[in-house]
Amino acid sequence: MEEINQELVPQEPAGKDKGKGDAYDKISIMLYNTEKLEEKHIRLSEVKDYKKLLDDEGAYQLWINLDDDYDESVVESICEIFSIHSLVKEDIIEKGQRPKVEDYEHYVFVVAKMIYYKEDRLTLEQLSFIVGNRYLITFGDEEGDVFDSVRNRLRKEGSLIRREGTDYLLYSLIDSITEGYFNVLETMGEKIDLIEEKVISSKTNEEQKEIRELKKDLLFIHKFSWPLREVTSWLAREESLVLNKSTKVFFDDLSSQLIQVIDTTDTYRELLSGLIEISLSNISYRLNEVMKVLTIISTIFMPLSFIAGVYGMNFKYMPELGSRYGYLITWIVMIVIAAFMVYYFKKKKWF
Amino acid sequence: MEEINQELVPQEPAGKDKGKGDAYDKISIMLYNTEKLEEKHIRLSEVKDYKKLLDDEGAYQLWINLDDDYDESVVESICEIFSIHSLVKEDIIEKGQRPKVEDYEHYVFVVAKMIYYKEDRLTLEQLSFIVGNRYLITFGDEEGDVFDSVRNRLRKEGSLIRREGTDYLLYSLIDSITEGYFNVLETMGEKIDLIEEKVISSKTNEEQKEIRELKKDLLFIHKFSWPLREVTSWLAREESLVLNKSTKVFFDDLSSQLIQVIDTTDTYRELLSGLIEISLSNISYRLNEVMKVLTIISTIFMPLSFIAGVYGMNFKYMPELGSRYGYLITWIVMIVIAAFMVYYFKKKKWF
Amino acid sequence: MEEINQELVPQEPAGKDKGKGDAYDKISIMLYNTEKLEEKHIRLSEVKDYKKLLDDEGAYQLWINLDDDYDESVVESICEIFSIHSLVKEDIIEKGQRPKVEDYEHYVFVVAKMIYYKEDRLTLEQLSFIVGNRYLITFGDEEGDVFDSVRNRLRKEGSLIRREGTDYLLYSLIDSITEGYFNVLETMGEKIDLIEEKVISSKTNEEQKEIRELKKDLLFIHKFSWPLREVTSWLAREESLVLNKSTKVFFDDLSSQLIQVIDTTDTYRELLSGLIEISLSNISYRLNEVMKVLTIISTIFMPLSFIAGVYGMNFKYMPELGSRYGYLITWIVMIVIAAFMVYYFKKKKWF
Amino acid sequence: MEEINQELVPQEPAGKDKGKGDAYDKISIMLYNTEKLEEKHIRLSEVKDYKKLLDDEGAYQLWINLDDDYDESVVESICEIFSIHSLVKEDIIEKGQRPKVEDYEHYVFVVAKMIYYKEDRLTLEQLSFIVGNRYLITFGDEEGDVFDSVRNRLRKEGSLIRREGTDYLLYSLIDSITEGYFNVLETMGEKIDLIEEKVISSKTNEEQKEIRELKKDLLFIHKFSWPLREVTSWLAREESLVLNKSTKVFFDDLSSQLIQVIDTTDTYRELLSGLIEISLSNISYRLNEVMKVLTIISTIFMPLSFIAGVYGMNFKYMPELGSRYGYLITWIVMIVIAAFMVYYFKKKKWF
Amino acid sequence: MEEINQELVPQEPAGKDKGKGDAYDKISIMLYNTEKLEEKHIRLSEVKDYKKLLDDEGAYQLWINLDDDYDESVVESICEIFSIHSLVKEDIIEKGQRPKVEDYEHYVFVVAKMIYYKEDRLTLEQLSFIVGNRYLITFGDEEGDVFDSVRNRLRKEGSLIRREGTDYLLYSLIDSITEGYFNVLETMGEKIDLIEEKVISSKTNEEQKEIRELKKDLLFIHKFSWPLREVTSWLAREESLVLNKSTKVFFDDLSSQLIQVIDTTDTYRELLSGLIEISLSNISYRLNEVMKVLTIISTIFMPLSFIAGVYGMNFKYMPELGSRYGYLITWIVMIVIAAFMVYYFKKKKWF
């Protein structure tokens, strides 16, 4: 990339110990100050060298990013280099964390959940951040994903993000994540509209499974957006050595955006509950319609069949049978009964 | 308008650069002090001139209003003139904001949602306010709408609004918006009453769709009135350079009015839920009625048809068939059975 | 009334300007100290005279009461005399207020809702109170209603209410209102018991409308008792120039009584929800019963009718038809089938 | 009782003014210090004498207990002797109180609700406590009930309760009451288990009435345990002249026991709601079963009856009728149809 | 075990008074400092000796564990040795406690609930902890269960747990318990997935009983995880003599883990409620299907049977009967009717 002016840490020849499992490809760094930017993949062993640069006069800031499939030993090494608490290390490795923020005096540890649709399925990814004085370590992004827009902004010389500290970089990344939440919610909104149309005209209860799926997804979004909001409002509120006062207003903005996320999930859940109600009511209503048809048919033909049955009896002395107009009169009677029944149901507005 | 005594900023000839896209029609200002009022449409380039007037001795106050369809560049220019934070700018342009208030020391930024019925559909409009020392900038009102009553009050010399600061002007505008909420709720109350009557006498479940629509509308009102109340209670509570203490009591009053709005939406939602319950119960009940008819008919005619069927059999030796009174007795038996059935259902209060 | 010793403000001749619309009948006052009590209807123009008396040495206290159908100008005049804030004036005139309390340094403004059954319908009435130093102004009571018991106590020389300040008078009036809430709840409790009996033995779903009515009423009681409790707890808690410390314990007592009111509405709503559940379950259960009857009848007679139908066929070669005992055997078979069916349903406990 | 060493207040001859309505039997006292205990029934007029003893050097403590059916005058006299506030007096007499605690500087007033099953019905009893410096007055216990265990402990010389102050005595009594709540909940737990078994195997919806009864009972327990917990947590938290610091830990323990009570009522209510759900689902499910039977029977016999009907027609030219094997073939066709239907329903798993 | 270097308290000959009911097997201790570890079963009488060691210079820490089936006297003795408050003693013996923490200045008392699946049934076990200066007493673990992992860590020389105080030991044990909650929830998650599959394809409502069982289990987990979280957050927050500041961060971590537990129970309950909804909707939907079959059959065959019935009548003068093509035409008419019905239902999408 053309913005890189010089390499601050001389790179060892690429072929040397690559393949030794030194996780060469997994660690990418961006070292920058207002003037310079260095961006490359480094080996675990080089991390220490870059850390030293931070104490130099160049006012450099360092962003170390580890891909999703790092192994524990790498996390351990990095935590050692930056003297990170052992609990933090465990939280990074253990994937089932809730979003949270923890203040360890010289650095702040943040866990967040990225959320997106992948092949129409809601997918979660855990991201961990350690933000210290002039360094930010991120764990878990599959390179080229959500963080790319931030990387691009960093590459632009003179951009705000180049001038601000690593806390602003943290804000930018969480902002990216938050945008992901909005995207997911938008997709959901469209899905709900689609289902609504289907439910209203539907003859089956198949939509209920779709509704259930969406409800489950909303449960998960709610589950992770709620604590993420707590994280951002903590970052906007608390005093910490590594958070500049000027960045607080940005986290405050994030916090109010996340309230919007939570609000929207609540609204969506109510809408889905309403759809289930409609779906159930439709089933009941169609049952009613079916039963009306059955009842109308039965009520018309049962008396008629009875009459036919009567004159099918084989009694010897049935005066009507011999009558010249018996058959005709029977038909007339039957038609009158049927007509009366139809009138009755019309009046009752059954059809 | 006759109240305008003189033009404080000499207007350039109208024909000059109009049409150059200087957004001439979109920016309207009202410059006033207790004695004078100037009201006109200005170009973007003139805003700066009016701003300078505020530092003059005339104790002028300035209200700048931008119409709904401003483009980003206009917002940007104005924000630059008044040195507004970039986050504020983004919030103004981005329409999907939640109502909120943010204090930036020298000015306060407020987002609110106006709500009204337009062709029987609930319509939302986002309004943004920047209130600073002696100036108020509003974004998003289609001219001549909710703000007109406030404009009229401003035009009256000696009115309270002319004597008070821009914070009171802000109060007056939010008060207008709040009144809009009440109007919407009133319309809704009438709609609910109408639906209630329909539901009770209804034979279908069509009302449920209407109920659902109303419920959705209430969700939206709730969604925007809640944070608006937070905004007003913030304005009533917090200390700020641009809010006079004497205006706090007015915001407090707004806040308690908005609690009334929220309360009413809650009450309405419970009423609508009750209506759905009634509608569902009606469906069940009508099913019951239908089934009773079917059962009565079946229970009466099945035994009769059976008897008729028996004597329609062609066995050679059926002593009853030859009997002189067989036919008569059969009729009597059938009538007795039918009568008994009718009696039975009467006793069971089925009809 | 015989307690009135002398008239402190000389009354103008009654016939003089009565009928001039000076609202003579609508303003009633009670002026009292521990020793004297004056009680009469006055004109608007006389209010000022009575106000002056309060600054005298007689340690008089003044209760001014305006009837429900005062017009705005009267409220305005009185507010002017006692220099009341314009927001208060508006709140008094505007009827749709939520109960609230507002402290304006030299006086406290209270809005409350009186509630009672009138011809079996829940009725609301808004009452406003302005309590200042040695005066209390009440708006909205139809004379002779809830306040009469308080008036009677005032008339008794030596009573506590005569010895205490206007804040105690305020307490007594709100206490009267609270008692009204309890009366309404008691009536409701009886109604719920009645409906419960009806629902359990009912064959229709008509009770659901009654339940809905009661639920609506409870919503309203809840809506107004909740803020009233906030009012009383405010009065028990906050420091104010016009509230004596010794009166706080009384407002505290009111507050805990209103919690009881709110609690009871909650309990009643759960009871009513339970009743709807029972009513719906009854409908379902009766449907079951109806269907059982239908099924039993069908299941018994369909096979029998089929058999009869078979031997009603006109095939030439049907050996059974010629048999001597064919008819008898057919009957036996049919009875056996019917008996088996009955046994089967008995075993399944269908009847 | 043998622990009574001497009578501290010389008793007037029993026969003297007994029967004068001096409520001789209703007031029982226990006067004790670490060494001595006097326990007897006294007249109202004697209360004053015992009160004087408290100021003596003997470090006596006095527990006065009034039975449930005291009349107002007695309460009034006692309140006068101990200079109790008039609101307290009213709260004692008025039975419909919510549990509460009120601090009147020199004494603390507590209202609690005792709860127990009496002939399988939940019964409430209001108890009031006034605890002052070295005296405790209790109102409302039917002698020999919940307080007996406490009395027995008091009678034991050297017991903790004899050594501690009246605040510990208050704790012991409320502890007794709390135990009553647990007993009631235990009984309820058993009832719920019983109903659950019944509901699952039930054919009717009769259990719903029982469930409703239990739900009502839980509402009442919840209603009174919640404020009682507030009372105990107040007693554990607040500073008061009459509460020793060492007793606070005991009230804290009570408070956490009452949270357990409230928790359990919540759990029980959810269980009961689940039971109603099951009961309703059972009804629906049984309806399904009934309808299946009806449908199977109809679907098998309707086509068969139709065939029989066809060959029961009297057309002159019906070739099948003359056929030698017509009857046989018809039977075969009918059996095939029936078999197919049975196979169809088996495949659909209808039975 | 090889780590035990020497016995600090000389053990009495094993055979001496074993069997005297001195609860020899039930009390196990672990005495350790950074260098040494002694682990054995001791008699009640020896506890005192070990306690004395704590005041020695060896900086020993003592963990005393009592098995589940201790009797009261043992608890009493131990409480006496460590001068524990009598309320604590009662709470240990009484099994129905809610998780809680209580601070008694020189020691902290903690109650927790262990939860696990035993033969597919959720099982609860109450554990009590008394943590004091350099000693921890645990009550209630069946040896070799949850605490074994902690024991193993203790046995490793140089491990963190050996270097930290008894508060860290307490953390480790509660951490073990918390892990148990996660295990249970994982098992539940799998169960829910299984039931979901069953419900969707089910023809009965049997799954509802399983769902109910799971819901009950979730109620219990919720009931005990909630207060446990309060316990851990108390331990993370409050100042106490026996809790080191460095341990607080660990309890904070536990606290956030328990929030995850509670969150998950909530999510699971919503999922289960959704399943019940689906199950009920399935029942309704199947009823619909059943009724459609019945209606189709009835609607087709009733008219046909009626026609057959008509021509089965025995009137003398029925012109159709003599017609050569009467029978054929009748069949055609019947087939047309049937075909029309089938077409009608197809159009209505009934099958």
Nearest chain C Cα distance for residue D204, angstroms: 8
Residues of A in contact with B322 (CB under 8 A): 316
Residue C185 predicted with pLDDT over 70 = yes
Q: Residues 91..130 of E with a Cβ closer than 8 Å to A: which?
A: none
Q: pLDDT (tens digit, 9 = 90+) per residue, A86-144?
A: 888 888 888 778 888 988 888 999 999 888 888 888 888 889 999 998 899 998 766 55
Residue-level pLDDT at A349: 82
Nearest chain B Cα distance for residue A312, angstroms: 5
Nearest CA in chain E to D259: E98
Residues of B in contact with C91 (CB under 8 A): 253
Any D CB within 8 A of E293 CB: yes
Find the helix or strand (DSSP H, E) in which B53 lies.
helix B47-53
How many Cβ atoms from other residues are within 10 Å of residue A152's Cβ? 11
Nearest chain A Cα distance for residue E349, angstroms: 8
Any D CB within 8 A of E298 CB: yes
Quick check: B34 and B165 in contact, CB under 8 A? Answer: no
Residue C144 identity (one-letter amino acid): G
Contacts of C287 (CB under 8 A, 6+ apart): B284, B287, B288, B291, D287
Quick check: E113 and E228 in contact, CB under 8 A? Answer: yes
Residue B12 predicted with pLDDT over 70 = no
Q: How far is C-alpha B180 from the geometric centre of its chain's CA atoms?
A: 9
Tokens at residue E85, please?
């408050």
- The interface predicted TM-score (ipTM) is 0.70
Calpha distance B39→C258 (Å, rounded): 53
3-state SS assignment for residue D336 = helix
Determine the Cα angle at B88 with ends B83 and B90, to 5°. Answer: 115
Q: What is the band of C188 on the pLDDT scale with cuts at 50, 70, 90?
A: very high
Burial class (CB in 10 A: 0-12, 13-18, 19+), A319: exposed
Quick check: B30 and B41 in contact, CB under 8 A? Answer: no
Quick check: D140 and D68 in contact, CB under 8 A? Answer: yes
Any E CB within 8 A of A205 CB: yes
Calpha distance E122→B313 (Å, rounded): 67
Quick check: D58 and D33 in contact, CB under 8 A? Answer: yes
Residues of C in contact with D297 (CB under 8 A): 295, 298-299, 302-303
Full strand arrangement of the beta sheet holding B61-66: B37-42, B27-32, B61-66, B135-139, B121-132, B107-118, B100-103
Identify the residue whose tokens are 């078994």: D197
3-state SS assignment for residue A116 = strand
Q: What is the CA radius of gyration of chain D?
A: 36
The CA-atom distances, in angstroms, between E42 and each of C127, E72, E141, E144 are: 77, 17, 16, 17
3-state SS assignment for residue A28 = strand
Q: What is the band of C324 on the pLDDT scale with cuts at 50, 70, 90?
A: confident
Nearest chain A Cα distance for residue E244, angstroms: 16
Nearest CA in chain C to D326: C315
Nearest chain C Cα distance for residue B253, angstroms: 8
Q: pLDDT (tens digit, 9 = 90+) per residue, E203-221?
A: 777 888 889 889 989 988 8
Residue range E275-299: mean pLDDT, rounded: 86
The CA-atom distances, in angstroms, between B250 and each of A36, B128, B136, B171 are: 54, 19, 17, 7
Most confident of B167-181, C37-51, E14-28: B167-181
Residue-level pLDDT at E311: 87
The pair phi, psi for residue C158, each rounded to 5°, is: 85, -5
Quick check: B36 and B2 in contact, CB under 8 A? Answer: no
Calpha distance D343→D351 (Å, rounded): 10
Contacts of B93 (CB under 8 A, 6+ apart): B72, B75
Tokens at residue A194, please?
């689609």
Angle between helices B245-310 and B326-347 (to 10 degrees): 160
Residue B171 predicted with pLDDT over 80 = yes
Interface contact D270-E219, CB threshold 8 A: yes
Question: In this complex, how many residue pairs, one in chain D and one in chain E, have their CB atoms less than 8 Å apart?
Answer: 119
Quick check: A137 and A66 in contact, CB under 8 A? Answer: yes
Nearest CA in chain E to A216: E271
Calpha distance B89→A86 (Å, rounded): 43
Residue B326 predicted with pLDDT over 60 = yes
Query: Any bridge partners for residue C351, and if so which?
Result: none
Q: pLDDT (tens digit, 9 = 90+) per residue, C112-143?
A: 988 888 888 888 888 999 999 889 999 876 65
Outline where DSSP puts E strands in chain B.
Answer: 27-32, 37-42, 61-66, 100-103, 107-118, 121-132, 135-139
Residues of E in contact with D200 (CB under 8 A): 209
Identify the residue whose tokens are 């001038």: A163
Any A CB within 8 A of E306 CB: yes
Any C CB within 8 A of B251 CB: no
Interface contact D280-C278, CB threshold 8 A: no
Tokens at residue C49, please?
């005279």
Residues of E in contact with A209 (CB under 8 A): 200, 278
Find the helix or strand (DSSP H, E) in which A55 lies.
none
Nearest chain E Cα distance for residue A209, angstroms: 8
Residues of D in contact with E126 (CB under 8 A): none
Residue-level pLDDT at D7: 57
Identify the residue whose tokens are 């009508």: B286
Any B CB within 8 A of C327 CB: yes
Any A CB within 8 A of E299 CB: yes
Asked whether the CA dihedral B293, B296, B302, B305 is positive or negative, the reply is negative
Q: Read off the pTM.
A: 0.78
Q: pLDDT (tens digit, 9 = 90+) per residue, C263-302?
A: 889 889 888 988 888 888 888 888 888 888 888 988 898 8
3-state SS assignment for residue B36 = coil
Tokens at residue B220, please?
């939206």
Full strand arrangement of the beta sheet holding A121-132: A37-42, A27-32, A61-66, A135-139, A121-132, A107-118, A100-103
Q: What is the CA radius of gyration of chain B?
A: 36
Q: What is the band of A19 on the pLDDT scale with cuts at 50, 70, 90?
A: very low
Interface contact A317-B298, CB threshold 8 A: no
Contacts of B288 (CB under 8 A, 6+ apart): C283, C286, C287, C290
End-to-end CA separation in angstroms for chain A: 75
**pLDDT above 70: percentage of residues in chain C:** 91
Nearest chain C Cα distance for residue B20, angstroms: 48
Q: pLDDT (tens digit, 9 = 90+) per residue, D262-295?
A: 888 988 988 898 888 888 888 888 888 888 888 8
Determine the Cα angle at C244 with ends C242 and C246, to 5°. Answer: 165
- Nearest CA to B138 among B181, B91, B170, B95? B170
DSSP H helical segments within chain A, as ranges?
44-54, 72-81, 86-93, 148-155, 160-163, 166-201, 207-237, 245-310, 319-322, 326-347
Residues of E in contact with D322 (CB under 8 A): none
Nearest chain C Cα distance for residue D57, angstroms: 34
Calpha distance B259→C16 (Å, rounded): 48
Residues of D in contact with E297 (CB under 8 A): 295, 298-299, 302-303
Chosen from B97, B108, B281, B297 to mutate, greatest number of chain A CBs within 10 A: B297
Residues of A in contact with B303 (CB under 8 A): none
Residues of A in contact with B325 (CB under 8 A): 317
Q: pLDDT (tens digit, 9 = 90+) per residue, D87-133?
A: 888 888 887 788 889 888 889 999 998 888 888 888 888 899 999 98
Any A CB within 8 A of B277 CB: no
Angle between helices C207-237 and B245-310 (to 10 degrees): 160
Asked whether the CA dihedral C8, C14, C20, C21 is positive or negative, the reply is positive
Tokens at residue D231, please?
């009372």
Nearest CA in chain E to D312: E312
Calpha distance E38→E198 (Å, rounded): 53
Interface contact E271-A311, CB threshold 8 A: no
Nearest CA in chain B to C285: B288
Residue A242 predicted with pLDDT over 70 = yes
Interface contact D314-E314, CB threshold 8 A: yes
* Ramachandran quadrant class, A293 (left: phi over 0; alpha: psi -120 to 50; beta: rest): alpha
Q: pLDDT (tens digit, 9 = 90+) per residue, E112-142?
A: 988 888 888 888 888 999 999 889 999 876 6
The CA-atom distances, in angstroms, between D187 and each of D118, D191, E74, E95, E213 are: 12, 6, 31, 18, 21
Interface contact A298-B302, CB threshold 8 A: no
Share the mean pLDDT of chain A.
84
Query: What is the DSSP code (8-state) at residue E65?
Result: E
